Structure 1
């Protein structure tokens, strides 16, 4: 399906959902940290910047909400869909490490109140320090969609009627909110495991970028969780503290098998490298491609036995 046909299908699906929310207004949420791809569209003139209370983000680099008009009289929606598709699919000339067009939000609240509510979610406490939480990026929303409990999800998205964004395959993802201030708190408290997923989200997403560019089905929550677990294991088991090392370890975990480093030869080589104050990953270069292929088949067979296949 070409991008024009995909854009039309997404627009129809979005408005089919919106039709069930009588009186709700539709907005596009844009993050200008990279650039502002909608600077020239009509909706930009009525946009409201999220009043984020965080000194580390300049006022001209804060995300904004722009109200969208009716189809046929406001081309802002079509332009936002076009840019979002290109960024989600990581087309070769548009590959970036983030997304500018984050998604679309429906709400009955005024633009100012909605912007205030969304801004309240943007700061989290980590070891008693305030940290910026760029949850509006679809790459983070993908992780949140399975990392949060149902109760946390209801709380986190309670200020909106619905939130839509594009997955890595340009499919429309959504969360239907309750739009009830009774559940709305300034922050959603994450447990240690959820916090670790968010803190390592950049390594997880950069790994998914590589897999996506290799034509793997990187849009599935199952693969996202496998990568997130592998990145966490890279940190906790092997103390790999650079993003490059975390990504490389996670790629081995996905492409060979999650237990690749449990094989005696691999584990021994990695431990020896660590004792010699070298990166454990440097030991992996001594194994041939044929050997890795054989290990992959062996691990897949073991997985089938465990799964009862």
Structure 2
């Protein structure tokens, strides 16, 4: 994980996730948690807003080096996002907190848009005007892509007149991100070098094709998408996969076991990343 000092110094704020980075590291910085009023009792789940300009340059670089070193040692991303914004910290914090609570299936949920994997998927799920509304007073949002290999910025165009109303299709895509990210994690574990900004969309599209083929079980859809991306979409035309599809349409949940070797099955407890896959989370 590399974070160029010049890139870092171009930002006024940063977000750090205390579920990913030890609170001792977070406290190196002038920061406070972003807490929506609906989630006052859930501070431990929520990111901190770091006020980068409130720390002297030498101390800032020392804190940066320690944060990056910790992240590298623990295979973490040092910051969830870097923010370019001239607004005062109270305005930024209030806006980010307000955006964190959205209604989904009639229930108010924590919207984890600040997670880099969720954010990168939102760039193909949402319209530019919706992304701009999500950013509000923030001029640019910089987050990691390609499994943390590099940083990429999104510039706010200011075209946010339509607000953040989400369509049913967008809500469905966002709610699918936990499954999408599980497939991507499996691709990485299996040694796949497949990456790129469009990977989450490609996986989502393949899961949709799985549904069109008659698969209804989430695990079956994930296994279908994994095979499409890891091998080829054409693999589903082979006799083995055709038979697996036939069985799974009659017995939901049978597809992955029908196409996997016993050694492919997961046996380990889920890691922290595996439990923080999606965009929605109960408060």
Query: TM-score, structure 1 length as denominator?
Result: 0.70
Whole-angstrom CA distance in 2 between matches of 1:172 and 1:280: 37
Question: 2:215·2:221 contact (CA, 8 Å) conserved in 1?
Answer: no
How far the C-alpha of 1:151 sits from its partner, in A, is: 1.8
Match of 1:71 in 2: 57
Match of 2:266 in 1: none
How far the C-alpha of 1:11 sits from its partner, in A, is: 2.2
How far the C-alpha of 1:152 sits from its partner, in A, is: 1.6
Whole-angstrom CA distance in 2 between matches of 1:82 and 1:159: 31
1:116 to 65, 89, 94: 94
In structure 2, runs of 5+ residues without a counterpart are 262-283
In structure 1, runs of 5+ residues without a counterpart are 19-24, 87-92, 287-309
- After superposition, the Cα gap between the structure-2 partners of 1:169 and 1:12, relative to the gap in structure 1 and judged at 3 Å, is same
Aligned pairs for 1:1-309 within 5 A: 6-7=2-3, 10-15=4-9, 18=10, 26-34=12-20, 36-39=22-25, 41-43=27-29, 46-55=30-39, 58-68=42-52, 69-74=55-60, 75-83=62-70, 86=72, 94=74, 101-167=79-145, 168-178=147-157, 183=160, 188-234=164-210, 237-242=214-219, 245-263=220-238, 266-276=241-251, 279-285=254-260
Question: 2:245·2:255 contact (CA, 8 Å) conserved in 1?
Answer: yes
Question: 2:183·2:226 contact (CA, 8 Å) conserved in 1?
Answer: yes
How far the C-alpha of 1:48 sits from its partner, in A, is: 2.1
Question: 2:247·2:254 contact (CA, 8 Å) conserved in 1?
Answer: no
Residue-by-residue CA offset, 1:128-186 (whole Å, 9 max, x unaligned): 222211010111111112222222222222321221111114211111225x6x9478x
Classify the secondary structure of the residue corresponding to 1:221. coil
Whole-angstrom CA distance in 1 between matches of 2:143 and 2:174: 18
User: Per chain length, whose mean CA-contact separation is higher, i.e. which structure has more relative contact order (CA < 8 Å, sep 6+)?
Assistant: 2
Question: 2:83·2:142 contact (CA, 8 Å) conserved in 1?
Answer: yes
State the number of aligned residues: 256
Question: 1:147·1:194 contact (CA, 8 Å) conserved in 2?
Answer: yes
How far the C-alpha of 1:37 sits from its partner, in A, is: 4.9
Query: TM-score, structure 2 length as denominator?
Result: 0.76
